[in-house]
Amino acid sequence: MVPGAPSTTTTMLPASEAAKIYQTNYVRNSRAIGVLWAIFTILFAIVNVVCFIQPYWIGDGVDTPQAGYFGLFHYCIGNGLSRDLTCQGSFTEFSSIPSGAFKAASFFIGMSMALVLTCITCFALFFFCSTGTVYKICGWMQLAAGTCLILGCMIYPDGWDSDEVKRMCGEQTDKYTLGACSVRWAYILAIMGILDALILSFLAFVLGNRQDSLMSEELLGDSKKTPAHASSLGQFLWCFMVIFQEITLSAPHQV
């Protein structure tokens, strides 16, 4: 070293401390992402409920014979020159839904809503089960909810050839052809919900795998003396034997 030159030596943290800092940041980031995932899951549930309930999937336009709008199972159509709309349809009265395609779409969108609400209920399992397992359960539910949304959105236009839709949109209306009517915001929101469900399910699987890897590292750190080729069952039995031996040696000897 040249006399008077500044020292280039840097202080290196011990490997154990560096690993501990990395693990702490890793856990903190995972928890922050998990909170965001939970918040967006709740928002997705709200979107799903709104799409299921609101009757604004398709609606009238400038050139439509009648005013009105259609949802999954509830619809309102004008009567002649009167501005009053006659509303019909209810999910509890399945026979009142005007088209078989609308019935199928209502079923799949309703199933999607039930799945995402069940997913939110499963948040309580974080207090009782492995975090990674809960993330994966919710991920499968969100993936199934997204699949149901896809099916509902694809099947719904197949019912546009019903008499009620033609009465509002004109005789040119047919399956997957809306005639003089237009798509409304609830249908668009449902399509956006598909992307939301797929992203949330992917994120849930990523978080679940990260939690599993973190748990594996913690178990590996607690059992450094365990042979590297031992199975998970062997590691559990080895840890149990060590704990039992420690308890036996620390117990007072009986005379």
pLDDT per residue as tens digits for the range 63-96: 888 889 999 999 999 887 666 788 888 888 888 8
Tokens of 150: 């896809």
- Give 110-165 pLDDT, tens digit per residue: 999 999 999 999 999 888 888 888 999 999 999 999 999 999 999 999 999 999 99
Domain count, the chain: 1
Instruction: Please enumerate in sequence order all residues whose Cβ is within 8 A of that of 108, keeping only pairs 6 or more positions apart, or say none.
Output: 148, 149, 151, 152, 155
Quote the pLDDT of residue 48: 96
Q: Is the residue at 42 inside a domain? A: yes
CATH classification of the domain holding 127: 1.20.140.150
3-state secondary structure of 177: strand
User: Which runs of E-coded beta strand occur in 97-245?
Assistant: 182-183
Query: Which has more confidence, 208 or 201?
Result: 201
Residue 181 forms part of a structural domain: yes
In sign, the C-alpha dihedral spanning 217, 218, 221, 227 is negative
Which amino acid belongs to residue 202?
A: F
CA distance 249 to 122: 43
Q: For residue range 4-31, what is the model confidence (pLDDT) as tens digits?
A: 555 544 455 565 565 555 556 555 666 7
The CB density around residue 75, as the number of other CB atoms within 10 Å, is 26
Q: Evaluate whether residue 158 is within a structural domain.
A: yes
Residue-level length of the chain: 255
Q: Which tokens hold the place of 129? A: 């089960």
Domain holding 114, by residue range, is 26-213
The two three-digit tokens of residue 238, written as one number: 């080895």
